Structure 1
């Protein structure tokens, strides 16, 4: 193989690698404008991480989210929603859908429900992104949004998916 041919192969390889890197970066950037991804939830009272929630877009365009991993000591994989009153009664919390039917409304998502699996109560929910898509403000409320509380979830950037078990 000649030097010219070797240089040409190196240039082609570098060009392909660059294109792949640009494509991967664009794919990651696309998720920053939407809640789709894995989020670390934070306990309101202790400010400690509690779980990882994976939010996905459904075929109808709505978003839903399920707990893919518990992080706190009291969130063992075997813990169940004993306080739930719907079809989730006594189901394992890990793997449970806790966010459903969120619809996009300009820069926020609204119209859905969120379940607190520790007390079994379901609330109306709205959410919006902050900090360039790295923080998700999730508000659960009863009736009107003023009667509720917000949590700030942080985007979990483990691109290998090792901690987001399906």
Structure 2
């Protein structure tokens, strides 16, 4: 009986650790240049695809009614608050620690970048990398407990 209880607890711990290594959850975005907190982004999973939307703006310089003037798709002139900025990411078949294949939109300039997410530090941080051709930029986002 005691061995079964211990095995069950270890199994639950493993499931909990795996869940933390998923990009799903609430993340505080940090600007890689200014190091300022920018927003809270909630990443969700549906049918193996991950998407993320801006849930809260944290930068006091950003007005709450800001719209994406420079977006060139269906998000043009739509509010940044509530905007889906991450789309169509899935777990990489070769490297299970990486989620890619989708894109991220920067509402400040309207540009869409190929995206790659990688949970690090036991799932407490998320490396969010945006690519244009061979060039990339990486931000480290922090999980909100």
Q: How many Å apart are 1:75 and its aligned residue?
A: 2.4
The normalised TM-score by structure 2 is 0.84
Segments of structure 2 that go 5 or more residues without pairing to the other structure are 1-11
Distance 1:28 1:92 in 2: 35
Q: How many Å apart are 1:74 and its aligned residue?
A: 2.4
Alignment-derived partner of residue 71 in structure 2: 84
Distance 2:14 2:62 in 1: 35
Segments of structure 1 that go 5 or more residues without pairing to the other structure are 1-23, 158-166
More strand as a share of residues: 2
51 and 25 in structure 1: CA distance in 2 versus 1, 3 angstrom threshold: farther
Alignment-derived partner of residue 81 in structure 2: 94
Q: How many Å apart are 1:89 and its aligned residue?
A: 0.3
- In the alignment, is the contact (CA less than 8 A) between 2:17 and 2:122 conserved in 1? no
Which has the greater radius of gyration?
1
- In the alignment, is the contact (CA less than 8 A) between 1:78 and 1:92 conserved in 2? yes
104 and 70 in structure 1: CA distance in 2 versus 1, 3 angstrom threshold: same
Alignment-derived partner of residue 43 in structure 2: 55
Q: How many Å apart are 1:30 and its aligned residue?
A: 4.8
Distance 1:27 1:70 in 2: 31
Distance 2:89 2:40 in 1: 18
Q: How many Å apart are 1:27 and its aligned residue?
A: 7.7
Alignment-derived partner of residue 139 in structure 2: 151
Alignment-derived partner of residue 68 in structure 1: 55
Alignment-derived partner of residue 120 in structure 2: 130
Q: What is the count of residue pairs matched by the alignment?
A: 132
RMSD (Å) for aligned C-alpha atoms: 1.9
The normalised TM-score by structure 1 is 0.74
